[in-house]
Amino acid sequence: MSKGPVVIEVTRGPVVESRHEGIAAVVRPDGTVVASWGDIDTPILPRSANKPIQAMPFVESGAVEKFGLGNEHVSLACASHNGESRHVETVRAWLKKIGLSETDLECGTHPPRLQATIEALVREGALPTPAFNNCSGKHSGFLSTAVTYGEPTKGYIKYDHPVQRRLREVMTDLCGTDANAFPYGIDGCGIPTLATPVRHLARAMATMADPSRLSSKRAEAANRIRAAISAEPFMMAGTGRFCTRINGALPGVAQVKTGAEGVFCGMLPTLELGIALKIWDGAGRAAEVAMATLLGHLGVLPAAQKDELLHPPVKNVVGLLVGEMRPAKSWLG
C-alpha cells in the first residue's frame, strides 16, 4: 500500500530548480491506512501541526464555560497566528478573564509573522510582547487548564507538569499507542514536542475528525474544536495564510493545521479520515502544496482554489511569473 515518497517540484522556466521529498499518511480512526507515501512508521516531530489535539485538555477541563470563552478562543488555542491585532487583543482579554496576564505566558516573544504588523509596531515605537508569539493562544489554553484544575501555572511548559502529562494522555488515547514512550525535543515555544510516527499522528487526526470511539466528554471536545476552527478560521492563522483559507473555504469538511519544519495535519470529518505529512527538509512551501494535493486527491479541494494551491506561482522581484510549484508526476501531479 505504501508508495514512493511525496515529491513537490519548484520550476523556473523550463528547469526543475528545486525538489522536496516527504512522507504522508491518510488513515481511518481505527488505524486503517487508506493511502500512504514513504515510510510512515518514521517518527516525526509534529510541532504546531497537532495544536488541535493540544487544545483537547483545555476544552475537556470545562474552562471554556467557566470563563465564558467562545469559538474565537478555542480557535486561538489551536493557532499559529500572525500576531495581528485581533489575535493579540483577544489573547490579552482572555488572560484577564482567567486572572492572569502576558507575563504568565512562558512561550517567549518573537516579532509577529506579518511584516505589516512589525512595521505598525515600529511606527508606534512599540515592541512585541508574548501575546504576539504565534503560540500565545495555545499557551493561554494551557494556562486556562491549569487555573481550572487549581494547578500551579508556573512551569506549565515542563514535561512533568500536569498540563503536559495530560497532553500525552490524550495523544495516547487518540493515536492508539503510548505517547509517554515517545522521545521528544523542545519546541520553539518551550513545550515538549513528541516524536510521533506519521501513521499514528494521522490516526490521531482521524480520531479528532470522527471521535465516536472516544468517551462522550472527549468526543464532545473534539467536535467543539473542529467547529471552532470552522467558525473562526482567521483566529488560527490570519491574513493570507493557507490554514485560514482552507478552513474558511471548507467549514465542517476540513480542518488543517501547519507545523514548523514542513509538517501538516488535517481532519476530514465528512470522510472520517485524518492526514499527516512531513516534508523531510522542513519547507513550509512544499508542505502546503502537498496538503492541497492530498485534499484534491480526496476530492475536497474547492475547484476555485485548485489551480493556485496546486500550482502556486513563483514570481521575481518585479512580479513577473518565472516558475511554479507543483506536485511531481511521480507523486500525484
Least distance (Å) between residue 126 CB and its own copies:
12
Q: Nearer to its own copies by C-beta: 208 or 265?
A: 265
Cα gap 31→198, rounded to integer Å: 11
Q: Nearer to its own copies by C-beta: 195 or 219?
A: 195
Q: Nearer to its own copies by C-beta: 196 or 230?
A: 196
Q: Nearer to its own copies by C-beta: 304 or 320?
A: 320
Cα gap 89→333, rounded to integer Å: 42
CB 142 within 8 A of CB 162: no
Q: Nearer to its own copies by C-beta: 47 or 166?
A: 47
Chain positions contacting its own copies, by CB under 8 A: 10-15, 17-21, 43-45, 107-111, 115, 118-119, 122-123, 133, 183-190, 193, 195, 261-262, 279-283, 286, 316-320, 322-323
CA-closest candidate to residue 228, choices 81, 79, 67: 79
- What is the Cα gyration radius of the chain? 19
Q: Nearer to its own copies by C-beta: 77 or 194?
A: 194
Least distance (Å) between residue 42 CB and its own copies:
10
Least distance (Å) between residue 262 CB and its own copies:
7
Backbone angles phi, psi at 96, to 5 degrees: -65, -45
Least distance (Å) between residue 173 CB and its own copies:
23
The single residue listed with the C-alpha cell 482552507 is 246
Cα gap 10→316, rounded to integer Å: 14
Least distance (Å) between residue 98 CB and its own copies:
22
- Alpha carbon separation from 100 to 92, 96, 135, 282 (Å, rounded): 9, 5, 17, 35
The single residue listed with the C-alpha cell 487548564 is 145
Q: Nearer to its own copies by C-beta: 43 or 62?
A: 43
Least distance (Å) between residue 119 CB and its own copies:
5
The cell numbers describing 100, all together, are: 492572569
Least distance (Å) between residue 330 CB and its own copies:
14
Collapse the DSSP code of 257 into the 3-class scheme (helix H, G, I; strand E, B; otherwise coil) and give the result: strand
The cell numbers describing 303, all together, are: 475547484
Q: What is the DSSP string of 294-314?
A: HHHHTT-S-HHHHHHHHS-EE
